[in-house]
Amino acid sequence: MEQSARAAVGGELTELARELDERDPLSGVRAEFELDPEIAYLDGNSLGPPPRTVAPRMAEVVREQWAGRLIRSWPEGWWDAPVRVGGRIARLVGAAQGQVVACDSTSVNLFKVMVAALRLNPERNEILLDGNTFPTDGYIADSVARMMGATVRRVPVPEMGAAAGPRTAAALINHVDYLSGRLHDMPGLTAELRAAGALGVWDLCHSVGAVPVELDESEVDLAVGCTYKFLNGGPGSPAFVYVARRWQDRFDQPLSGWGGHRDPFAMAPSYTAGEGIDRARSGTPDILSLLALDAALDVWDGVELSSVRAKGLALGDFFLRCLDELLPGTEVLTPRDSARGHQISIAWPDAETAMTTLIRRGVIGDFRPPGVLRFGLAPLHTRYSDVLRAVCALQELAGNGR
């Protein structure tokens, strides 16, 4: 592209980004986050920034609850916090109350849920695994299979329904592919698995807080998700577990700690599982992280999830337009239609070096080795101007030789 033509296109995109930011119905929500206005932060799909409510709430928790009430805080709200906070997440994943609990890490919850899924289907001994799964999902599935005498078969997600057979106990599927950003068909795949007698276990880490999730409507059996990405709960914030009500009485998870006991403070010598979703709990709640997450969830109050989805798709469309006009020929790994989450992934040689350079220039995304750059588009705080700035920075890199 000639320099004058490139400048003209850049000017048009700059004006369009300004107009889109001005018309953005979610623009006011950005002010609720602690974000450096000089930074284009496009990594909310790895770690969301802190909402402004978190710091004062944590000061209150430490000074008034921990220091002021000490041990008395357990019966005054701490012990029930996993279910209460889980109830706040339930709205964001399309679940009725009493089916979501916030606890432990994603890996721990995957382990609990996968063992429980095999125990719910005791005559079967095969796990189908998303062929491009996030690595920890594969690690956990392999470990569960070794422990339970089962086998793991990796299958491309669109083929899972057809691949499920009389030996298949459960399938572990990422709702949004972490590398490409592809969004998978939750209701369709769940129905196909159910018809084959298999349970669907969904990993929502890259979809919760970004794309519509309708667990109850899709008749999902089991699901897990993290809260430090699009839910902005903070580094290492507790994950969550969803157990459909129809399975709760039979949900038999392997980490039968006192947190999931029917009467945890009775100190009984044997284990009796708690009622309902409580039985998905294990040990003592991580109160400081859990209540930081509770504060972070305030930013979602009054936010329509349909608006979040609409903006997420619009940000992605604008990113693709900027690429097409400023960097034509760039290989985009993310679907261009609506079958995507809220990230754009592109192929780029030596992605680590490229991202290091972008970060020095105030554009923060991430990479997956050896050659993928990922840019998260979190609708609550990402601006269209951030998107344009990222593509312009990529253009500069390309001009210097990729």
**pLDDT, one tens digit for every residue, the chain (402 residues):** 555 555 657 789 999 999 999 999 999 999 999 999 999 999 999 999 999 999 999 999 999 999 999 999 999 999 999 999 999 999 999 999 999 999 999 999 999 999 999 999 999 999 999 999 999 999 999 999 999 999 999 999 999 999 999 999 999 999 999 999 999 999 999 999 999 999 999 999 999 999 999 999 999 999 999 999 999 999 999 999 999 999 999 999 999 999 999 999 999 999 999 999 999 999 999 999 999 999 999 999 999 999 999 999 999 999 999 999 999 999 999 999 999 999 999 999 999 999 999 999 999 999 999 999 999 999 999 999 999 999 999 999 998 644
Residue pair 395/21 in contact (Cβ under 8 Å)? The answer is: no
Measure the CA angle with vertex 118, ends 113 and 123; round to 5°. 165
- Beta strands 366-368 and 372-376 are antiparallel
pTM: 0.95
Catalytic one among 153, 229, 279, 389?
Answer: 229
Q: Order the strands of the 222-225 sheet from edge to edge.
A: 100-102, 240-243, 222-225, 199-203, 168-174, 126-130, 151-155
Report the top-level CATH class of 3-32+302-399: alpha beta
Catalytic one among 21, 134, 154, 167?
Answer: 134
The number of angstroms, rounded, from the C-alpha of 135 to the middle of its chain's C-alpha atoms is 15
Catalytic one among 374, 375, 383, 386?
Answer: 374
CA distance 208 to 312: 13
Catalytic one among 130, 203, 221, 294?
Answer: 203
Does 317 qualify as catalytic in the annotation?
no
CA distance 153 to 151: 7
Does 130 qualify as catalytic in the annotation?
no
Catalytic one among 228, 240, 251, 384?
Answer: 228
Three-state SS for 380?
coil
Alpha-helical regions (H) of 33-134: 54-60, 81-92, 106-120
**pLDDT given for residue 129 in this prediction:** 98
Does 374 qualify as catalytic in the annotation?
yes
Residue pair 131/156 in contact (Cβ under 8 Å)? The answer is: yes
CA distance 178 to 92: 19
Name the token pair of 377: 């588009």
Three-state SS for 119?
helix
Residue 306 burial (10 A CB sphere; 0-12, 13-18, 19+): exposed
Does 203 qualify as catalytic in the annotation?
yes
The residues with which 151 forms a beta bridge, in sequence order, are 126
**pLDDT given for residue 48 in this prediction:** 98
Domain boundaries, the chain: 3-32+302-399, 55-300
**pLDDT given for residue 402 in this prediction:** 43
Residue 4 parent element (H or E): helix 3-23
DSSP string, 231-255: T---TT---EEEE-GGGGGG---S-
Q: What do you get for the CA distance between the two ends of the chain, in Å?
A: 17
In single-letter form, the type of residue at position 320 comes to: L
CATH number of the domain located at residue range(s) 55-300 in this protein = 3.40.640.10
Residue 163 parent element (H or E): helix 160-163
CA distance 145 to 164: 16
Residue (of 319, 311, 352) closest to 335 by Cα position: 319
In single-letter form, the type of residue at position 110 comes to: L
